[in-house]
Amino acid sequence: MLRRSPQVRLEKNYRCGRQIIAMADTFKERDTVVVADRPGGNVEVHHCPAGFAEQCRDAAAWISRASVSPVQ
């Protein structure tokens, strides 16, 4: 028999800056509250009409480029 773990809701994001949290709040589908622990953050929006697979390819390409020339 499986036991369910208690649900944990995290309200503070220690990694993302406030700008990133504000942008994420615009798109999320739940009414949960998340606050950032620090100011700042950079957000880029990319249109991916081919869906999730295209999002994954674009993200992987961005990571590959960033690993060669780190983002400041």
- Tens digit of pLDDT at every position of the chain (72 positions): 778 888 877 788 888 888 888 888 888 887 888 888 888 888 888 899 999 999 999 999 988 988 887 655
What's the CA gap between 42 and 71, in Å, rounded? 10
Q: Which residues, at least 6 apart from 16, have a Cβ–Cβ distance to it below 8 Å?
A: 24, 36, 41
55 phi and psi angles, rounded to 5 deg: -60, -45
pTM score, two decimals? Answer: 0.52
